[in-house]
Amino acid sequence: MAVRYQITGGTAAEISASVESGVRTGALPPDSPLPPVRALAATLAVSPATVARAYQELRQRGLVATAGRHGTRVRPRPPVATRRAARYPTPGPGVRDLSRGQPDLRLLPPLGPHLARLADRIGPPAGYATAGVLPELAEAARHRLAADGVPVDGLTVTGGALDGIERLLAAHLRPGDPVAVEDPGWANLLDLVAALGLRPVAVPVDDDGPTEAGVRDALALGARALIVTSRAQNPTGAAVSADRAAALRTLLAGRSDVLLVEDDHAAELARLPLHTLAGVTPSWAFVRSVSKPYGPDLRLALLAGDETTVARVAGRMSVGPGWVSTLLQRLVLALWADPATSGLIVRAEESYQRRRAALITALAGHGLTAHGRSGINVWLPVPDETSAVTALRDAGWAVAPGGLFRIGAPPAVRLTVSPLDDAEIPALADAVARALRPARPAGFTA
């Protein structure tokens, strides 16, 4: 029988520390419900206001979320190091895992040969004084971004896209500020927004990116920042189209009160052209990660933007970790310069496109409409996430529940095509169709 975790404490600080400890040890895994305020207050013999203060503090730090009648629950990825097993439960034996949202590891460039070549050319050890953004990397990055129409005023390098976005939000916003995010949107970003104590304002997304009405509403609600995924939107695969970019540019033109952040994480892996919004607001940043095409372990992203915005990020970085290791910067430069790597990325892009299209077509054959214009994921609206995820797991497929990515968007599941082989796609589509078939009424016999 499962033992319920006993929250303890006589003050708000003790109660929140007790919840945090439960999260850290895995006794309160993601999505665990916390007791209602009054019930816990009665158990602990404290006032409801004390428990409410503890819950509010946990909410501001992004450990828990309160959603109306669903009560207060541990967030899917609270910003406290938990045991990995609690965070990523391994699907049972024989279950194919399409839930992780990571690139196809078979299609990432091998780093060994580049590292070996670097080892020959690395020169003497670098000290503090000579480290920073490598001029050669900055130069190459400027060319690459300019070729995509991104106006590069300032440029720096961060430890991945999310690191850059965290520094941007921390530099421009204060806890409690509203920030417009795509809904559905990248789960890690929603977790980061919660951890920074910011208030997410949901902007609906269709296949062409954030909707015009959604952005207009978010601006009317006072959003201080807007985060837009250029292409391969996670989880829907949306890509900002030329028309949508034009409409959003009109809405955002000259808005000095809004920081515009573009996340072009798929970068070279995106088949569709970039329609950037960069430069339309005085405060803007364009973030391009190398994670998807070249490998998440490289932990490097380019961050371009207006001079003030970039200086804030680079300055904050300089009083913290300092810079992204020049070893990683050199490695990225070597990968950019390697024609074999570019060829591999083109093949990876084709492979994702083929598998996404095949899955969407196979699902359509069962009367199911799924989304995935670009990237590595397919987003499938379903009537009920829990039953879809459970039925699919029982059929041997682990998929991600849409709840990780949604604020107010309708239920769905995310299927990452990276681990899929082409030959498996018809069987997967059959399993999805069976999993979504309405249960027969009791007593019905065929």
Q: Which stretch binds ligand PLP (CB under 6 A): 134-142, 156-164, 353-361, 419-427?
A: 156-164
**Residues 215, 251: contact at Cβ < 8 Å?**
yes
Q: Does 280 bind ligand PLP (CB under 6 A)?
A: no
- Residue 373 corresponds to which amino acid? R
Q: Does 265 bind ligand PLP (CB under 6 A)?
A: yes
Q: Which stretch binds ligand PLP (CB under 6 A): 25-33, 155-163, 169-177, 427-435?
A: 155-163
Contact pick of 5, 55, 186, 294 for ligand PLP (by CB under 6 A): 186
- Measured from the CB atom, the residue of 9 and 101 that comes closer to ligand PLP is 101
Alpha helices (H) in 290-338, listed in sequence order: 291-294, 307-318, 326-337
Q: Which stretch binds ligand PLP (CB under 6 A): 157-165, 273-281, 319-327, 399-407?
A: 157-165
Q: Does 301 bind ligand PLP (CB under 6 A)?
A: yes
- Measured from the CB atom, the residue of 18 and 325 that comes closer to ligand PLP is 325
Q: How far is the CB of 398 from ligand PLP (least distance, A)?
A: 17
- DSSP letter at 288? E
SS3 category, 89: coil
**Residues 239, 265: contact at Cβ < 8 Å?**
no
134/109 Cα distance (integer angstroms) = 22
Which one, of 101, 102, 96, lies nearest residue 394 by Cα?
Answer: 96
Q: Does 101 bind ligand PLP (CB under 6 A)?
A: yes
Task: Tell me the number of residues near ligand PLP by CB under 6 A.
Answer: 13
290/302 Cα distance (integer angstroms) = 8
Q: How far is the CB of 366 from ligand PLP (least distance, A)?
A: 27
294/332 Cα distance (integer angstroms) = 8
- Measured from the CB atom, the residue of 266 and 431 that comes closer to ligand PLP is 266
**Residues 16, 58: contact at Cβ < 8 Å?**
yes
Residue 395 CB-half CA count within 13 A:
19
Q: Does 286 bind ligand PLP (CB under 6 A)?
A: no
Q: Does 289 bind ligand PLP (CB under 6 A)?
A: yes
Q: How far is the CB of 182 from ligand PLP (least distance, A)?
A: 9
Q: Does 291 bind ligand PLP (CB under 6 A)?
A: yes
Q: 377 φ, ψ to 5°?
A: -120, 155
Contact pick of 57, 166, 183, 263 for ligand PLP (by CB under 6 A): 263
94/286 Cα distance (integer angstroms) = 41
Per the document, the length of the chain is: 446
- Measured from the CB atom, the residue of 5 and 286 that comes closer to ligand PLP is 286
Q: Which stretch binds ligand PLP (CB under 6 A): 10-18, 159-167, 273-281, 345-353?
A: 159-167
**Residues 14, 8: contact at Cβ < 8 Å?**
yes
Q: Does 229 bind ligand PLP (CB under 6 A)?
A: yes
Q: Does 162 bind ligand PLP (CB under 6 A)?
A: yes
300/193 Cα distance (integer angstroms) = 21
- Measured from the CB atom, the residue of 53 and 265 that comes closer to ligand PLP is 265
**Residues 285, 310: contact at Cβ < 8 Å?**
yes
Contacts with ligand PLP, residue ranges (CB under 6 A): 101, 160-162, 186, 229, 234, 263, 265, 289, 291, 296, 301
